[in-house]
Structure 1
Amino acid sequence: MIAEQDIPVYHTLADVFGSAAAALPHAKRWNDLAEQFEIRFGRKPTYIARAPGRVNLIGEHIDYALFGVLPAAIERDILIACGARSTPTISHSQGVPDAPGSVVAENLLPKYTRQIFAPALRDPQPVSDQDAHVESWHLDINVKELRWESYVKAGYYGVLNYHFSGVEESPSPVDLLVTGSVPAGSGLSSSAAMVVASTLAFLAVNGKLADSVGHSTLNKGGLVELSMKNEKRVGVNSGGMDQAASVMSDPSSALYITFFPSLSASVVPVPAHAVFVCANSLVVSDKVLTAKRGYNLRVVETLVGAYILAKSVGIQIGDKDKITYREVVGRFAGETPGEDMGSDALEKAITELEPKLDVLKPENSENGQLGVTMDEMIRMTGLTQEVFHEVYLSWVDIEATYFQLYRRAKHVLTEARRVLQFRRTCLEAAESGASDGKDVALIRKLGSLMNDSQSSCSDLFECSCPELDELTRIAREAGAYGSRLTGAGWGGCTVSLVAEDKVSDFIQKVKASYLPYKNLEGSALNEVIFATKPGSGACVYKLDA
């Protein structure tokens, strides 16, 4: 299984990219990063940690409901050059001593200023039998203003608290230099890539990727889980798709990532003549601004809806259990606990459960309002206000007048079914060795599923925006088989399925029709709209001493 594979540590760029020829276009960027590190810190870096962004082909906002998704890593990435610091540095003159684990972090983009910080060792805390983990270290992260170094700190947090007791062993002081080619706020998961790369950098510098005899101490699945926990430090409740895609991707395929009953991933070959084109709407999806009424609100609506649905179909559930839609489907279908019923049975069970979603509508929906008020929602759960607040509101900040339980549930179940259909179509194409004619028919089917996904994201989950709706419409008119938003939404990118021999023509047609692109040429245009192939997952590159 991919989750059980070791995190790769490479010694040449040819290994990173699969061949010397494939590495050649990237060599200058990596060399420039290493040279800049030496200029700024007076020595060569020891490692460069790499984590790619990702494009989600289909399966939006269903990972935290524990349904499978279908992303692929893109070639654009975050790189962090790093090295342990053994002697005092400029940090002294700026008020931060070379305390255990102190960090000097710089970014090649000049708009991001140098940051210096150090973790604080907490006082010893009593541990009860019920405590799974008590944190020894603390770092200040401002969750109300997501600065670039917040993601570096987030990656560091888990390394500190899961790999250092603070008593017998302390982390090394570290210097970091960051660069990235994944556009921030684009829906291509720059934040997860930054957290994964940061986590890898601190693990590598502190010798935590392998034990004293060279055996791996953390596999890919472990890195995904650690990175998921780390990213929650910045205030966004991630379902794990972004981190899994960044860590586990294979350069030849998309990934089918499932989260139930445990994290797993399998390769899904994409039809040979299909190309995916990412297009940035140039609307920045600011997680700080959208979380209350966007991402975090959807998480709560999804969890509450699953609880109500579970009770309505006779599933036994405790008052404080946070059941997910995937678990509801499994129990509804009589799935053996701890096992996966399989794709065909899962699709059948989803189809059978969909008609039962009406229980999530308000008692009186004659005025067309399908949402429910807070009081109605609590009453529908049968919980007391105190228990409801503890389970669903105490850990997250949300804001809404009406909670759209039915719409969110309808999207989640139909989107989960579309993912299964998309995967099956890709596997059938690979197994049949489809000829060009049949290949086109299969690609059209994939495109139709993507279009249906966009409609659902826009109308039911309401995570699109006018610019994304316009850009997907333009893409279809320009010849795309299918086009949909990718990522959390509310801005960011679209992904379009385009015939391999039509990519250049497609990009020019989109440029001519989407107003923000009209004055862009050359590299500026390539920054906002580009074709991508599935890329490789995260790794560490060890430089020669």
Structure 2
Amino acid sequence: MAAQLPIPVYSSSDELYKDLGTATDHATRWTNLAEEFEKRFGRKPSYIARAPGRVNLIGEHIDYALFGVLPAAIERDVLIACAPRDPLAHPRGSVNAHNLHYKYPPRSFSPVKKRSQAGSTPDEEPGEDAVHVEEWHLEIDKKELRWESYVKAGYYGVLNHSFPTASATSPDEPDSHPLPVDLLVTGTVPAGSGLSSSAAMVVSSTLVFLAVNDKLEGVSKGTLVEMSMENEQRVGVNSGGMDQAASVISTPSAALYVTFYPRLAATPVSLPGKSASFVLANSLVTSEKAVHARTRYNLRVVETLVAARVLSLRLGVDVGARERITLRQVVGRVANEPEGGWQEDDRGLRSALERMVKEVALLRPPTADADGQEGVSLEEMIKWSGLPEKEFHDVYLSWIDVEAEHFQLYKRAKHVFSEALRVLEFRDICLKASSADVSTNDVLKKLGGLMDASMESCSKDFDCACPELDQLTQLARDAGAYGSRLTGAGWGGCTVSLVAEDQVEIFITKLKTTYPPYKDLEGDTLEEVIFATKPSSGACGA
């Protein structure tokens, strides 16, 4: 299984670059980074970590409901060069972080150990049996995120994973410290574009801190995904794992079918033929996922989780009083999914989803047709959940910041179920196209139709689009795309369009002349915001 494989560490440049794609001059970027590191710090880097951004072909906002998705790594990536400093001359674990981009100033920081009490409850005075424990602490301001916050997030996870803390009353316990390091960051994934620049930063920083401290042994791709998921939560975003899995596990020339239930798994899915490309177009609306999380991303997490509980109750499915059941688990329980999950062909899951697309109507408020409001107030939502108010807050609101007047349980669940079904259909079309003599044009039309349906659902039911994304996807269809949809969290960022290979240049020219923000862009500036991409390999080091 791909998730169980080790992280690739290359010793040969030829071996390294052949898997990264051909649309970017990877050799020049790696060489320039190493040379600049030596100029700044007076020695060569001991390790360079790479993590790519990703494009999600289909399956938006369903990973945290535990449904499968179909992303692919792109060639654009984050590189971090790193080397240890003299541990006798610098504080243990200290980090001197530089960024090649002029707008990101150098930062320095160090983790510290703070003493806490174990063995007593927060409301009690520490008893004689309380243990004084030192825990790692590294300040990350979630309200004012800076570029190094993502580096810190990766570092924090490595500290917790690889460097044991010690009890102050048990001095013989291991008490190792990370090395002091210099690091230099560069990246080509546009921030806020929906191409997962934040995950690329967190994955690459997690990987480089593991490597420079000689902690990579035994860390599989799946372990790196899980660590990176937890690490990104430290900057205030509750990620479902798609971004990290795509950045770590992807293989060249294929999408990645990533599933999360009953466990993380990833399977390459060959894309049909070489007669079409995926073109990424930046709407130039910046989506700051962490900044707006409480009214957007985090809110959708809560809406889908509460929708799962309410739907379970209305379908007679048993749910534990404090269980935070997901929509994927609801599907499995309603359809009596066998232990260990349905088989790889997903016929059981497809059949169950077809039913749930209809059953989701149970979440519509009785007054929806009369007043047009398909959401419910917080008070109504708590009542629907069947939980006492305090218990509801403990289970659904105590661990995440959200803000809303109405919670759209029906619309969010409707999108999740229909989008999960589209993912299975997209995957099946690709699998059949690779094993049967079918018309490529017909295959591309079917895939494009699914992308268009996904965009409509994202816009109308999940409300994660924006006027610019709606306009850009329509212009893409008018310019000849088989299909076009937003990719990433939405609310700005990029679109992905399926375009015939021999029409890519014409397609880009048409978008330049019809999408107003592009009209004055030329040359490299235009290539930064609209470009074709080839599926790349996942995270690696050298």
TM-score normalized with structure 2 length:
0.93
Deviations 1:433-471 (CA, angstroms, capped at 9, x unpaired): 44xxx0100100000000000000000000000000000
SS in 2 for 1:420: helix
Q: Select 1:397's aligned residue among 401, 410, 419.
A: 401
Number of the residue aligned with 2:130: none
Residues of 2 paired with 1:424 and 1:446: CA distance?
10
Q: 1:308 to 1:375 in 2, by over 3 A?
A: same
Q: How far is the alpha carbon of 1:18 from its aligned partner?
A: 2.1
Residue in 1 aligned with 2:101?
109
Amino acid at match of 1:285: S
Q: Equivalent of 1:197, from 185, 204, 207?
A: 204
Moved more, 280-289 or 192-201: 280-289
1:180 aligns with 2:183: no
Alignment of 1:190-269 (within 5 A): 190-210=197-217, 217-269=218-270
Instruction: Tell me the equivalent position of 1:327.
Output: 329
In the aligned structure 1, how far is the partner of 2:329 from the partner of 2:87? 53
Alpha-carbon distance in 2 for matches of 1:88, 1:523? 46
> What does 1:458-537 correspond to in 2, within 5 Å?
458-537=459-538
Q: Distance in 2 between matches of 1:455 and 1:135?
A: 51
SS in structure 1 opposite 2:245? helix
Name the stretch that deviates more: 453-462 or 311-320.
311-320
Aligned counterpart, 1:213: none
Match of 2:118 in 1: 126
Q: Which residue in 2 is equivalent to 1:144?
A: 143
* Distance in 1 of aligned mates of 2:20 and 2:402: 50
Q: CA deviation at 1:47?
A: 0.6
Question: Aligned ranges for residues 82-101 of structure 1 at < 5 Å?
Answer: 82-86=82-86, 98-101=90-93
Preserved CA contact (<8 Å) 1:280 1:529: yes
> How many matched pairs?
519
Give the Cα separation in 1 of the matches to 2:19 and 2:362: 56
Percent of matched pairs sharing the same residue: 60
Could you tell me how far apart the structure 2 residues matched to 1:318 and 1:247 are? 34
Of the structure 1 ranges 8-17 and 195-204, higher mean CA displacement relative to structure 2 is found in 8-17
What SS does structure 2 have at the residue aligned with 1:464? coil
C-alpha distance in 1 between matches for 2:24 and 2:12: 12
Q: Which residue is equivalent to 2:169? A: none
Q: Deviations over 1:348-392 (max 9, x none)?
A: 101112222122122322111101000110111111100000011
Three-state SS of the structure 1 residue aligned to 2:323 is: coil
Q: Structure 1 residues 350 and 19 mapped into 2: Cα distance closer, same or farther (>3 Å)?
A: closer
Corresponding residue of 1:92: none
Partner of 1:63: 63
State the distance in 2 between where 1:402 and 1:454 align.
23
TM-score of the pair, normalised by structure 1: 0.93
**Aligned partners of 2:441, 2:493: CA distance in 1, in Å?**
28
Work out whether residues 277 and 531 of structure 1, in 8 Å CA contact, stay in contact via their aligned partners in 2. yes
Aligned residues: CA RMSD = 1.6
How does 1:279-358 map onto structure 2 within 5 Å? 279-342=281-344, 343-358=346-361
Question: In the TM superposition, what is the alpha-carbon distance from 1:135 to its structure 2 partner?
Answer: 8.0
Determine the structure 2 residue equivalent to 1:7: 7
- 8 A contact 1:446–1:482 mirrored in 2: yes
Task: Note the C-alpha offset of 1:513.
Answer: 0.3
Bigger mean CA deviation after superposition, 159-168 or 199-208:
159-168
2: distance between equivalents of 1:492 and 1:422?
23
Give the C-alpha shift of residue 338 in structure 1: 3.2
Q: Deviation at 1:13?
A: 2.3
Per mean C-alpha deviation after superposition, the further-off stretch among 311-320 and 496-505 is 311-320
Q: CA deviation at 1:21?
A: 10
Assess, with a 3 A threshold, how the Cα gap between structure 1 residues 350 and 257 changes in structure 2: closer, same or farther. same
Q: Secondary structure at the match of 2:183?
A: strand
Residues 135 and 161, structure 1, Cα contact 8 Å, conserved in 2: no
Letter in 2 for 1:205: V
2:376 to 353, 372, 375: 372
From the superposition, tell whether residues 20 and 530 of structure 1 become closer, same or farther in structure 2 (CA, over 3 Å). closer
**Structure 1, residues 451-496: CA drift from partner, whole Å, max 9, x if none?**
0000000000000000000000000000000000000000000000
Confirm or deny that 1:164 pairs with 2:166: no
Shift of 1:341: 4.7
CA contact (8 A) 2:72 2:246 kept: yes
1:266 positional shift:
0.4
Residues in 2 aligned to 1:66 and 1:310: alpha-carbon distance in whole angstroms: 16
* Structure-1 separation of matches of 2:23 and 2:351: 45
Counterpart secondary structure, 1:198:
helix
Contact map agreement 2:20 2:26 (CA 8 A) in 1? no
The answer to whether the 8 A contact 1:52-1:246 is kept is yes
The answer to whether the 8 Å contact 1:78/1:182 transfers is yes
